[in-house]
Amino acid sequence: MVLKPKPPTKVIFDLNSTVLILYGKQEMARIGYNPQKWGRPSYHPLLCFNGITKDFWHGELCSGDTHTATGTIELLKASFAKLSSSVKIVIIRADMGFYDHETIEYLESQRALFVIVAWLTAPIKREISSLSYQVYSSGLETAEFMYQPTRRKKKSRFLVVWRLIPEDPTEQLTLFSMGKYSYQVLVTNMKRTPLNTWKFYNGRAAVELIIK
């Protein structure tokens, strides 16, 4: 008797983008953000991976000067279209390049759960300075607040994680730092605790290795 796998009921979409350096006159080649070869034309693909199986799910090829958030809705629509009818829960994990009010509103319209790194704007920094933090034995501190960003129609839940800056800090952790410590802010509609939400978000770290 051959056992068939059960249809999935939950999918985690890990979103990311990368830069493909070009050395010719290819169509859609544009000069944009290129940390390895400044001034070289490139492509800026937007990618979606299955966060559970780590398989590639969908991608959108964009020109090198395209901001990540610009093509996110198209990426999400195509990714949702490939879901089977058995899937009831969709969770999105994404870095700050995908943080945009239109993206969040689209995910809410699809009743998807999400946790996305937020840009540390001046109003958010002011919120951070007045919060009461929960301290953990690991040295982490967390807090949360409700905030309605500009152009948003309602408030969203924001989580703050405060920790020591690692020896090789990532860009996401150094946008707002104080001394040897750094804040990371996540926007989410999940009901997990701040610490568990942050740990869940960090589960997307494998995406960087997959792309490499």
User: Would residue 89 count as lying in a domain?
Assistant: yes
Domain housing 133: 10-211
pLDDT band at 175 (very low <50, low <70, confident <90, very high): very low
> Quick check: is 1 in a domain?
no
The winner for highest mean pLDDT among 1-15, 155-169, 171-185, 191-205 is 191-205
Residue 3 located in a structural domain: no
Check residue 152 and give its pLDDT: 85
Q: Is the dihedral of CA 161, 163, 166, 168 positive or negative?
A: positive
In angstroms, the CA 129 to CA 120 distance is: 12
CATH number at 173 reads 3.90.350.10
What's the pTM? 0.81
Query: Is the pLDDT reported for residue 161 higher than 90?
Result: yes
Q: Is residue 113 part of a domain?
A: yes
Q: Examine residue 5 and state whether it is found in any structural domain, yes or no.
A: no
Is residue 112 in some structural domain?
yes
Torsion of CA 210, 46, 52, 56, to 10 degrees: -60
Distance CA(159)–CA(197), nearest Å, equals 8
Is residue 117 in a domain? yes
State the total domains in the chain: 1
Say if 165 falls within a structural domain: yes
Average pLDDT over residues 95-116: 93
106 CB burial (10 A radius; 0-12, 13-18, 19+) = middle
| Residue 148 in this model has a pLDDT that exceeds 50 | yes
